[in-house]
Structure 1
Amino acid sequence: MKQSFFIKRTASILLLVTISSMVSFGQSNTKPNIIFILADDLGYGDLSVYGGKVQTPNIDRLAHNGILFTNGHSSAATCTPSRYSLVTGEYAWRKQGTGIARGNASLIIDPERTTIADIFHKAGYTNAVIGKWHLGLGPEEGPDWNRDVKPGPLELGFDYSFIIPATGDRVPCVFVENHRVANLDTKDPITVSYDEPIPDEPTYENNPELIKVQSSHGHNQAIVNGIGRIGYMKGGQSALWDDKNIAAVLAAKASAFLETNMSTPFFLYFATHDIHVPRTPHTKFLGKSGLGVRGDAILQLDWTVGQITKTLDHLGLAQKTLIIFSSDNGPVLDDGYVDEAVEKLGDHQPAGALRGNKYSVFEGGTRVPLIISWPGVTAPRTESDALVGQIDFFSSFASLVDQQLVEGDAPDSENVIEAFLGQSKTGRTELVKQAGALAIIKGDWKFIESARTANSNRQKELGRSTEPQLYNLKNDIGETTNLATENPEIVESLGNLLDSIKVSSHASQTNNFN
């Protein structure tokens, strides 16, 4: 990455920033607005500020005004468990049913438990989630798309929600606003099935003449907007989204929320759908990146971030707002559609120098872009190698807004707010990551437990082995040399530590490593 991009700060300047920020926040008792922008399938090397080939000036500007983290992690290498950990502060492998959720999955978070939104609500914030949800909706039997779709985000501490229920490649292809499918005509009810086809409805396999985007694997069931999806769907024609306009719709909803709540502290969890498949960027971005539609989708993501920051500037809220930008997991190229993501990659490296990608227990699966900007508090153009995880935002935000956690809240989240604000170079001591097998990072070392099987599929290097793996990340960030045989004492120590975390009192249910 571009190490020369950042200006090195002296200890005295950092101390001055720390003191001034503590005074401005603590004595005035003002509460910063919080915007968490979570990209989808964006890799460690995808942004220009991390050395990527696609120019992302709006996201880069956040780094210009804040801190770029080189050792920031999602807790899992796929979306549902990663997002579960973010919202609950609990490792997803502790709870069954947190694998990649179907589009008609029931809500996987118990409404009785405290969420990150609840913490902000207790502190007097107005909360919204806009964008990709993928944590299930509705009761145990699943959602009824033609009536109130609940429980959901509103039962988890959010005051407003406008969400994609799961992902763009899964049905139903509709937005849900608060408790209702947006723009649904009750005379054209929605039927969703993930078990068997719906009679007389076209499918990818039976009606190839309707397909505009070819599938490379899977995505061969319902056809919506000429694109094959996972799952079957009927009805709801007036509510179907237009894939190429998803980013613009989400950006407009986010800006409207900011304008409506500009006079009160707010928490906005803004989860974009870029760069997830199907990649259908708006025509104004097509062909602009030179890297095919995946690169064009990165341009669209950067535009989306620019819409948020422009709204803040227009409303005079930029100085009062802490922005976090990150990704739910690492990158993937061919993820089910023929879109030339591989063929047009060129010398762009989506995961940078990291090994692995989405689905992988290697660093490319979970070490993700992480930028934090709070003008006047975070020192501009700084870089941090503190070990931090998205799972830590729960406890850290609670500390920031002066909320006490009680027993059972955010059991795996650590308060590293000083690291997040650049006031300390030290983050958490160790971090567990999930991708079929579990891995633990402590200091310079990373231990990957042995898995039942070792395999890769569809160009995805999963990183699993039937033998334990040990890497020194300081000297070998690309995880090229397994040092387990030469360091049995470190393997034993980290293996024992991982086992103790697995069986700790935090674990409320049977472990689930999928």
Structure 2
Amino acid sequence: MIFHYKNSLPRMLVRIASAMLCAILTIGTSMATSADRPNIVIILADDLGYGSLNSYGADESHIRTPNIDRLARQGRRFSDANTPSSVCSPTRYGLLTGRYDWRTNQKHGVVSTTDPLHIDTSRSTIASLLKSVGYRTAAIGKWHLGYGTNKADFTKPLTPGPLDIGFDYHFSVPQNHGDASGVYVRNRDVVGLRSDRRIPAGKSPYGRDYMGIDAPQRVDENVMGELTTEAVEWLDRQPNDTPFFLYFAPVAIHFPYTPSQTTRGKSGTGLYGDWIGELDLSVGRLLDAIDRMNATENTLVIFTSDNGGVLMTEGERPEADAYRAGLLCNGKWRGRKHSIYEGGFRVPLLVRWPGHVEPGTLCDETVSLVDIYSTLAALIDQPVRSNENVAEDSFNVLPAILGTQYKEPLRSSMIVHSPNGNYAIRSGPWKYIEGIPSPTLKQPPQRDELHSQLYNLQNDPGERNNVIDVHPEVAEQLAELLNNERINGRSSRLTTPLKHED
């Protein structure tokens, strides 16, 4: 039907009404989209082993972790969550990019304090992905992924850095707790930098000389509290109508063990246990902040760790004191941080999202922290496509998080890598260890794990019985798969896991 108007006024009114209707529909669609995209908080603890939480079996007489365990009660606990590396910065690279770190030029070791930015600014990260659909983003805590394009100069703007790979705000300890920088970084600059001259400085807890940056020096006992305050204050600044992503990386429980007066002496396992208590206190403050914002129902919280714990059974260090007191920081798993065994890679993974993740549930699916990228991409309806150079090793494990039905395992295989360049690959119940250190190491370490090994983790979760001579055909299949994965430049999504054989 066509209407004819004798003058322009009715036509103008119709146009105004149409414009208003379009605006209302657009706003409604925008609000619906925003409501479908939850706030996201990833908490990546440092060196927290599988057995270091009450929800993962630690006895309350040794440590108490009520705040972290609140996530287990209100969400889902994973029993087979793994880091891609048994050391810090390679895991952080893998989590943020969905790509194994050994695909870069770093085949062993970690990023040093003055190394350049390890993530190429052209590579997509979780932060840039979320920012592209309207999220406000922040990286607060331990960074350990470098700054700049050459050797970092902390007396000048540290660029490129986190702000160039998707983060709107950054506040960090540049490398490790007690690192040689001795300072904080906010966005692109050292906090409180006074000049480019060097100041007298002693040695870090690692025995290295402090860099002597002319700026206020961190006080180790205060770092966890100050990082947590930064995170809480950033959350408080977020508007109600914009989703946020917080990547919070506490320095606990990395050495040196420096609990605050609030947690010192409160555990049954000395400084090591007290430091776990400090981590738990920090997580509690973040969860309380989210509650105060009335954002709990629409916030996905992911808690995990960058590698296994530092297990020591002898000597006078705090880790050994905790062990003698009865704490098994990595639970039943063999090995520790830096090793190729499960204790280096198996970590706690707790996921809470009220109304979407069933509370108090357990998931036994094998997942890797590199899967977080693809999982979040699927969550915001931006799935990773196999023909893109994005998140090449990341799998969507959202069905495991949400508890939806799926037939085959979400991962057919998974590669892990130790800091000396030794590879292992898991498929089904099998784990094959190549046993060869990185050829780029000038002095390969003499370690008993540097030989070919095969374990059936279903029968032998403690990796005590090397069955490579019993099942050489399995070892050959896994060795071939490992080589193919390295050559292909991305993880295969076509193979099925190797089956169990007695």
Q: Same fold (TM over 0.5)?
A: yes
Name the CA distance, whole Å, in 1 between partners of 2:340 and 2:448: 5
Aligned residue number for residue 100 of structure 1 = 110
CA contact (8 A) 1:39 1:271 kept: yes
**1:144 Cα offset (Å):** 1.9
Alignment of 1:303-314 (within 5 A): 303-314=281-292
Letter in structure 2 aligned against 1:479: E
Say yes or no: does 1:55 pair with 2:79.
no
Give the corresponding residue for 2:8. none
Q: SS of the residue aligned with 2:318?
A: coil
Q: Deviations over 1:278-312 (max 9, x none)?
A: 11110221111121111000000000000000001
Query: Which of 392, 397, 401 lines up with 1:411 in the alignment?
Result: 392
Partner of 1:341: 319
Correspondent of 1:502 among 456, 475, 486: 486
Write out per-residue CA displacement over residues 86-123 of structure 1, whole angstroms, 9 at most, x where no aligned residue.
11111111111363121111111111111111110111
Q: Which amino acid aligns with 2:264?
A: L
- Indicate conservation of the 8 Å contact 2:98/2:393, yes or no: yes
Q: Are residues 452 and 228 of structure 1, via their aligned partners in 2, closer, same or farther at CA, if it must alter by over 3 Å?
A: closer
Does residue 88 (structure 1) correspond to residue 65 (structure 2)? The answer is no
Distance in 2 (CA, whole Å) between partners of 1:182 and 1:471 is 49
- 2:429 matched to which residue of 1? 444
Q: CA deviation at 1:414?
A: 1.1
- Tell me the amino acid that sits aligned with residue 394 of structure 1: Y
Report the equivalent of 1:510.
Answer: none
Give the whole-Å Cα distance in 2 for the aligned partners of 1:64 and 1:262.
29
3-state SS in 1 of match to 2:180: coil
Question: Superposition pairs for residues 426-437 of structure 1, below 5 Å?
Answer: 426-435=409-418, 436-437=421-422
Q: What are the within-5 Å matches in structure 2 for residues 18-97 of structure 1? A: 30-53=36-59, 54-97=63-106
Pairing 1:84-483 to 2, within 5 Å after superposition: 84-97=93-106, 99-140=109-150, 142-186=151-195, 189-190=197-198, 222-223=202-203, 227=205, 229-236=207-214, 238-263=215-240, 264-333=242-311, 339-345=317-323, 346-405=325-384, 407-424=388-405, 426-435=409-418, 436-451=421-436, 464-466=449-451, 468-483=452-467
Q: Which amino acid aligns with 1:441?
A: R
Distance 2:465 2:427 in 1: 17
SS of equivalent to 1:503:
helix
Following superposition, the deviation at residue 396 of structure 1 comes to 1.0
Quick check: 1:362–1:463 contact (8 Å CA) kept in 2? no
RMSD value, Cα: 2.3
Give the letter for the 2:347 counterpart: V
AA of the residue aligned to 1:170: D
Change (3 A) 1:29 1:451: same
Stretches of structure 1 lacking an aligned partner (at least 5 in a row):
1-24, 192-200, 203-221, 454-459, 508-514
Q: Secondary structure at the match of 2:41?
A: strand
Question: Which residue number corresponds to residue 210 of structure 1?
Answer: none
SS state at 2:478 partner: helix
**Structure 2 counterpart of 1:77, one-letter code:** S
Q: Distance in 2 between matches of 1:60 and 1:364?
A: 21
CA drift of 1:127 comes to 0.6
Matched-pair contact (CA < 8 Å) for 2:311–2:330:
no
Deviation at 1:401, TM superposition (A): 0.8
AA of the residue aligned to 2:332: A
Question: Quick one: distance in 2 between partners of 1:330 and 1:87?
Answer: 19
Unaligned stretches of 5+ residues in structure 2: 1-30, 439-444, 492-502
TM-score norm. by structure 2 comes to 0.84
Distance change (3 Å), C-alpha of 1:232 and 1:28: closer
For residues 80 and 123 of structure 2, the distance between their equivalents in structure 1, rounded to whole angstroms, comes to 29
Once residues 228 and 155 of structure 1 are traced to their aligned partners in structure 2, the CA distance between those partners, rounded to angstroms, is 30
Off by >6 Å, runs of 4+ in structure 1: 25-28, 460-463
May I ask how many residue pairs the two structures share in their alignment? 442
- The alpha carbon displacement at 1:229 in A equals 4.2
Counterpart-to-counterpart distance in 2, 1:161 and 1:376: 31
Larger Rg: 2
Provide the C-alpha distance between the structure 2 equivalents of 1:259 and 1:443, rounded to a whole number of angstroms: 44
> 1:317-375 CA distances to partner (integer Å, 9 max, x unpaired)?
0001000000000000469x964320342111001000000001100001111111101
Query: Kindly tell me: are residues 248 and 312 of structure 1, through their superposed partners in 2, closer, same or farther at Cα, counting changes over 3 Å?
Result: same
Q: CA deviation at 1:29?
A: 5.0
Deviations 1:475-498 (A, max 9, x none): 211111011111111111111111
Question: Could you report, residue by residue, the CA deviation over 1:111-154 in whole angstroms, capped at 9, with x for unpaired residues?
Answer: 111111111011110110000010111122x2221221111100
Cα distance in 1 between the residues matched to 2:167 and 2:229 = 19
Deviates more, 1:113-122 or 1:71-80: 113-122
Counterpart in 1 of 2:498? none
